[in-house]
Amino acid sequence: DCESASVHPRYTYPPRAALVAYWSPGSNSRSTMYTLLSGLYKYMFRRDEYCILILGLDNAGKTTFLEQTKMRFNKTYKGMSLSKITTTVGLNIGTIDIGKARLMFWDLGGQEELQSLWDKYYAESHGVIYIIDSTDEERLSESKRAFEKMITNDVLEGVPLLVLANKQDIENCLSIPDIKTAFSDCINKIGKRDCLTQSCSALTGKGVNEGIEWMVRSVVRNIHRPPRQKDIT
């Protein structure tokens, strides 16, 4: 679970007592020195952790997007074959590190019977990525209803929102202007939050880096949802 951090987590400093102990004549034992240096290392290289929800209808490409993200930002992650990914029933979790930020992704199932579980995760989220299948015009209105219900939930007020028109690598898909037109009456319900709509292909990776980097900038500057501090261990 993600816990709230202090209001100004980036402006805390090593405890004065620790610094005094470091310079005290009687504190030169190896164990004390190791403990102090270890604590200083953790302080200097800690990361702030942000929880990001990945939402959207089933078959929108949420899990493929998560896998593509992990492969692009985790150099040691080999990943699964993107062509073999199946519909998520429940929850997929992934983590990436970018600079001093650690993003923990929660990829939630998008079937109608699972959408009722989405709001159980809202209170602990710092950002939302909503993925739309731009090749499935028949379900666009269904996606819009799920989107509208999500953004009007008071718990998500002010949370940065990234809307991805996925599967843009497929011919005759809906364009960004098409999707913006279909969702136009949701604009006034988005409220005061950072929001971006962009094209994406989770399969080829187009737009993935740009979307993730935008989300990092947005959650870091959103002081209304302070991050959870996380040591690198």
Question: For 137-189, how does the pLDDT look when each residue is reduced to its tens digit (9 = 90+)?
Answer: 999 999 999 999 999 999 999 999 999 999 999 999 999 999 999 999 998 99
Alpha-carbon distance of 122 to 187, in angstroms, equals 20
Per-residue confidence band for 76, with pLDDT thresholds at 50, 70 and 90: confident
Q: Identify the pLDDT of residue 132.
A: 98
Number of alpha carbons in the 13 Å side-chain half-sphere of residue 3: 5
63 is in an annotated binding site: yes
Q: Is 111 a residue of the active site?
A: yes
Residue of 123, 128, 86 whose CA lies nearest to 106? 128
60 is in an annotated binding site: yes
Mean pLDDT computed over every residue of the chain: 84
178 is in an annotated binding site: no
Residue 1 confidence (pLDDT) above 90: no
Section 73-85 average pLDDT: 78
Q: What is the pLDDT of residues 85-121, one digit of tens each?
A: 777 767 899 999 999 999 999 999 999 999 999 999 9
- Read off the tokens for 59: 């078959």
Q: What is the pLDDT of residues 39-67, one digit of tens each?
A: 555 555 568 999 999 999 999 999 999 99
Give residues with Cβ within 8 angstroms of 146, minimum separation 6. 55, 56, 57, 110, 115
59 is in an annotated binding site: yes
Q: Identify the pLDDT of residue 78.
A: 78
Q: Identify the pLDDT of residue 85.
A: 73
Section 178-205 average pLDDT: 94
Could you tell me the residue ranges of all domains in the chain? Answer: 47-221
Q: Identify the pLDDT of residue 17.
A: 47
Q: Identify the pLDDT of residue 27.
A: 52
The residue that leads in pLDDT, 71 or 29, is 71
- Catalytic option among 111, 115, 198, 229: 111
Secondary structure of 70-135 in the HEC alphabet? HHHHCCCCCCCCHHHCCCCCCEEEEEEEECCEEEEEEEECCCCCCHHHHHHCHHHCCEEEEEEECC
191 is in an annotated binding site: no
87 is in an annotated binding site: no
The residue that leads in pLDDT, 9 or 28, is 28
127 is in an annotated binding site: no
Q: Identify the pLDDT of residue 19.
A: 42
Q: Identify the pLDDT of residue 30.
A: 64
Superfamily for domain range 47-221: P-loop containing nucleotide triphosphate hydrolases (3.40.50.300)
